[in-house]
Structure 1
Amino acid sequence: MSKLMLGIIDATTYKEEMKDLTFNRSIAAVPFAGRYRLIDFVLSNMVNSGIESVAIFPKYQYRSLMDHLGSGKNWDLNRKRDGLFFFPSPDLPVPQIGSFQHFQQHIDYFLRSSQKYALICNSYTVCNMDYEAILQRHIENKCDITQIRHQGKSLNMFILETSLLLELISTQQQTGYQSIIDVVHDPTNQLTICDYEYSGYVAVIDSIESYFLHSLELLRPNIWKQLFLKSRPIYTKVKDEPPTRYMNGSNVKNSMIANGCIIEGHVENSIIFRSVKIGKGTVIKNSIIMQKSQIGDQCQLNNVIIDKDVRISDGTHLFGTKEQPFVIQKGTMQGALMNS
């Protein structure tokens, strides 16, 4: 059943509310949960649902995304037939999810695909979803398009026959439909539009506030267990790094610490990514510290998001709020280091 489905990930979305984390990367490549990227979740869901052909359509700052995914080996998508495909179209205007104009530029991919059905998804929804079960419901109910919802809101995920998708792409000039969203929202069309209500955990990451909220939410065991399932693992780029070192005097409470770190200070209710160094006497609470950042001695950080490769000098104090966390952009320096 699942091998009948083609995976399409629309990674063209730009959110002004995410600009502090997307200056050098697309939303799909934003780090999440200590060692993952946002795209890992939808891509892993597709692979766990048996999908063997996945096309990614990026637009903005996609070098980081391509570096992360590579050939698709970590998702078992580096194969001779089907596998992982990239189809960037940076010259197109800002599209909606499932832009027919974007698909038109790479129409050969759809024409050569043998899968009867197509699954179109965004790249910034965090969940652990079985698309095979949804396809089964789609077929049983004889739907033309199935729209996946959560708590009554669309997740911008759609299932339809590939032949229908090709028809919508080829007739966009006549119908005026620019995207799959336009089709679903048009009450006058003759298609059977079905809704599938997903009841599991969902986090839509479309702002700094939602990113911060849903990241720290993972520190709650009941949330973590809904997202990270042994039977349906979330895959990501493998990096061989040593275990984290907890030095004398370090203290860690209710936190997620990735491998390769050196912890000398106090960490509480926080997420620390790979290869982070936290100095002596430093206190970090309610914060997210991304890969390879270095926090000096005697610092205080609360409600802070620190992007990758940031250096914080000794004695620096940074404070935000839950509603407006203090964000430091990738590769910058904060504190006395700025004037050195």
Structure 2
Amino acid sequence: MNKRVLGVIDATTHHEGLEELMTHRSLAAVPFAGRYRLIDFVLSNMVNSNIESVAVFPKFQYRSLMDHLGSGKDWDLNRKRDGLFFFPSSIIEGIRRGIGSFSHFAANLDYFKRSKQEYVIIANCYTVFNMDFRPVLERHIHTGCDITEVFHNGKSMQMYLVKTSLLIELIQTREATGYTCMSDVVMDIHHKYRLCIYEYTGYSVMIDTIQSYFSASMELLDPDVWKKLFLKNHPIYTKVKDEPPTRYLKGASVHHSMIANGCQIEGTIENSIISRGVKIGKGSIVKNCIIMQKSQIGENCLLDSVILDKDVKVESGTIMTGASQAPYVIRKGMGQGALMNT
């Protein structure tokens, strides 16, 4: 499959429902499951499907994404031929475009023309799933389809498999046809292409709001859900960081939670996801929370249904409470004092 399929990840999406987590980063770089970023899932799926050439098309706040992906070494994509490519968009569009913006692709048309792969799979960056794309290609070839769209539970996953030559044609004729992206093509009932549907039956969730982000994160604390997403023979790769094990001091108590490396825990943690390098002080209680990298929680605090972005400092004695349907979110680098009772 590595010689036949080109991977394209559309990282231009900006969901307003996730604005509080996207102030300093793109949607693709939003942290998930303690040590991953959202883009890790689709990128790992492509690598595990033996796709050796992957192009990432970002648009908004992509410095964090570039820092995370680097040369692609952690995904075995730092190679002399093919590998990982990064094509930031310089196009300013007032209208929201769908997945696979042809105008963005047109600015980098040479990449597609020079590619030797016969097919291309176009995917979004915000779906959490673990999928082998090889059966999609086999079905696509066997049925003689022009476009194969991947579905899950009867709903489009906004992922498309087409011939590279057809994609180039769609890009070059976009002004005449009025198609701005792949979504436009498949939604046009008068299009001339043979459209096929591939139904994916594994675990999948799209992250497009704070509520969906929070609920999907909490689902991972269920061992059955974790096993469906993190498969031993189909691993999810991410940027490797060398950090010491988490240190549990006297008085620390952890129940039904995920704790990443490099933390220092003195308080109580229940039903929560704690990222790398987090410090939780003595007497503090953290329940139903997502605490991102290097955040610091002082002593005798109470946090319930809260999302702390990276580098947040919570002063001792602070009380913050949200709800499962409306978690309380603190943006990256902010400080919260003892008077912040919500």
TM-score by length of 2: 0.97
Structure 2 residues without counterparts, runs of 5 or longer: none
8 Å CA contact 2:318–2:339 kept in 1: the answer is no
Structure 2 residue matching 1:42: 3-state secondary structure: helix
Distance 2:3 2:225 in 1: 30
Partner of 1:113: 115
Partner of 2:297: 295
Report the residue type matching 1:98 in the other structure: G
Distance 1:288 1:115 in 2: 41
Aligned pairs for 1:193-272 (under 5 A) are 193-272=195-274
Partner of 1:163: 165
Percent identity between matched residues is 63
Distance 2:265 2:331 in 1: 22
Structure 2 residue matching 1:20: 3-state secondary structure: helix
Distance 2:170 2:63 in 1: 30
Partner of 1:281: 283
Distance 1:71 1:5 in 2: 20
Distance 1:160 1:91 in 2: 24
Distance 1:310 1:42 in 2: 28
Structure 2 residue matching 1:267: 3-state secondary structure: strand
8 Å CA contact 1:313–1:337 kept in 2: the answer is no
Partner of 2:48: 48
Q: Spell out, residue by residue over 1:255-308, the C-alpha distance to the aligned partner (whole angstroms, 9 max, x if none).
A: 000000000000000000000000000000000000000000000000000000
Please, which of 75, 97, 107 is the counterpart of residue 99 of structure 2?
Answer: 97
8 Å CA contact 2:265–2:281 kept in 1: the answer is yes
Partner of 1:318: 320
Partner of 2:30: 30
Determine if the alignment matches structure 1 residue 143 to structure 2 residue 145: yes
Distance 1:2 1:226 in 2: 25
Distance 2:216 2:290 in 1: 11
Shift of 1:91: 2.7
Q: Spell out, residue by residue over 1:172-223, the C-alpha distance to the aligned partner (whole angstroms, 9 max, x if none).
A: 1111111111110111112110011111000100000000000010000010
Report the residue type matching 2:84 in the other structure: L
Distance 1:158 1:41 in 2: 16
Distance 2:3 2:339 in 1: 54
Partner of 2:310: 308
Distance 1:87 1:2 in 2: 21
Distance 2:81 2:24 in 1: 32
8 Å CA contact 2:24–2:61 kept in 1: the answer is yes
Distance 1:196 1:281 in 2: 51
Structure 1 residues without counterparts, runs of 5 or longer: none
Distance 2:232 2:305 in 1: 31
For the aligned residues, what is the CA RMSD?
A: 1.0
Structure 1 runs of 4+ off > 3 angstroms?
Answer: none
Shift of 1:336: 4.6
Shift of 1:337: 9.7
